[in-house]
Structure 1
């Protein structure tokens, strides 16, 4: 696993040297754009429309557009001056809070943290203390010249840093058009909807969720590589449900069937496991 950042956690007067790793990865299937005629990869050139000439990286500067068509140029020296105003190599813990107090809308990206050679003892101390108290830490960290708010927590016996949005980066819900102003609903419909939620409630098991589109696309790619014809499944006709109550009742029936099927599978699985154990014991 590639180390993407090195620094330390500032915990009161304690300094814990750590290494940071990306905890997640993008599994999207990526494509190159090709010329339809000859399948040559397309390259994109940077061109100045005013000078009508191609420009290189050395000819490009960064500008902030403070109003349409008007820019201020920001130099490398300006960026360095801004960097000196923040602690660029420290995860600076500000507060400890309860995880349930943070709405998931604030979470952005996850990173694993491990101790550097001399940080094992202090790392274990912070991990144990946070685990025992059930608290998470709110901290600030600078990654790639951007100061980020973060939540530090314990996950599967490792410290995880979650970058989180600042409050002014989360848009107001009042900006969303078409929201119903009241929660007035029919009592009978609410009862059935609640029952439907109960039928679909289970323990969270992340292994049961898969990206069906990515799997299907990967299969098509593999088939094309091996020279096979791609078989496309016929489109499933959509049921035209007119009444909300009808839709809820139909959903209840479907979920009850699924629950019975799931229970049968679990019972069969337990019987199979028990038989194996008996056979091994004998």
Structure 2
């Protein structure tokens, strides 16, 4: 695997240098569209709807459409936005793991220690396991602020980006509890049926039948000689150590605990909390389908 980001986990005065790797990948077979007559590749063009010209990427800006008006955002406009380049994964709080609703989970990343000393990494992992807690963190990836859950998977720390609160829709349909009556006997029978299917989850026992059969179909057509030259029909187609020496681990832990004890009883203001600040700046509203930018 190849790391996509390097930084460090910061909580209190403890600093854990890490490398970030994508934890998942798609196994779907990539398919192209071709002309049924001669097998030529179908390609899409970026064509302006006003003048009809094909436009190069260099001459393309972004825009936002609110349904009635469109606002064009130039490269200069985008460059004027504050871009966070912080290389720290800041721990905001540690919460009980069961309180993080899986509906909020997005992309998953593995964290590998990026230091000759892995003690702080192992200590954090073991602490999360022992306390059954998940760290809610705030960090920047690809110039965007992210909210994420820092949790344990096996012997590794995992970073899983989270949706913001206003990106999760509510189940906005009438409750069925009042209109449907379930008898105790029906509930017992249903529970017995569930019990008959009960097992421990083993993901390796499940396969993507569609992709497997698609792969077999492709291989069979190639064996029959139904393939043709792609070139003829489609055309041309160091590790720097970051983080350095950190404060002695035990001393950092001791000073962090003392610092938090001194703050006991006082609450952090929303203005000092990047996560709460973001949530506060965007009033909650009913979820609607997003408009493409």
SS in 2 for 1:194: helix
Which residue in 1 is equivalent to 2:104? 106
The within-5 A match list for 1:1-282 is: 1-76=1-76, 78-79=78-79, 81-84=81-84, 88-118=86-116, 120-174=118-172, 176=173, 180-182=176-178, 184-227=181-224
Separation of aligned partners in 1, 2:80 and 2:111? 26
Separation of aligned partners in 1, 2:136 and 2:19? 18
Separation of aligned partners in 1, 2:225 and 2:52? 47
Root mean square deviation of aligned Cα: 2.1
Which residue in 1 is equivalent to 2:229? none
Separation of aligned partners in 2, 1:124 and 1:28? 35
For residues 8 and 64 of structure 1, do their structure 2 counterparts lie closer, same or farther at Cα, with a shift above 3 Å needed?
Answer: same
Q: Which runs of 4+ in 1 moved over 4 A?
A: none
SS in 1 for 2:82: helix
Separation of aligned partners in 2, 1:158 and 1:24? 14
Deviation, structure 1 residue 77: 5.4
Separation of aligned partners in 2, 1:215 and 1:94? 43
For residues 4 and 163 of structure 1, do their structure 2 counterparts lie closer, same or farther at Cα, with a shift above 3 Å needed?
Answer: same
SS in 2 for 1:64: strand
Which residue in 1 is equivalent to 2:255? none
Deviation, structure 1 residue 188: 2.4
Rg bigger for which structure?
1
Separation of aligned partners in 2, 1:129 and 1:163? 21
Structure 2 unaligned blocks of 5 or more:
227-293
Aligned length: 225
Greater helix percent: which structure? 1
Separation of aligned partners in 2, 1:115 and 1:212? 37
Which residue in 1 is equivalent to 2:269? none
Question: What are the Cα deviations for residues 187-231 of structure 1, in whole angstroms up to 9, with x where unaligned?
Answer: 3222111101111111121111111221122222222221299xx
Question: What are the Cα deviations for residues 256-280 of structure 1, in whole angstroms up to 9, with x where unaligned?
Answer: xxxxxxxxxxxxxxxxxxxxxxxxx
Deviation, structure 1 residue 70: 2.3
Whether contact under 8 Å (2:63, 2:70) holds in the other structure is no
SS in 2 for 1:141: strand
TM-score by length of 1: 0.73
Structure 1 unaligned blocks of 5 or more:
230-282
Whether contact under 8 Å (1:93, 1:138) holds in the other structure is yes
Whether contact under 8 Å (1:16, 1:122) holds in the other structure is yes
TM-score by length of 2: 0.71
Which residue in 2 is equivalent to 1:254? none
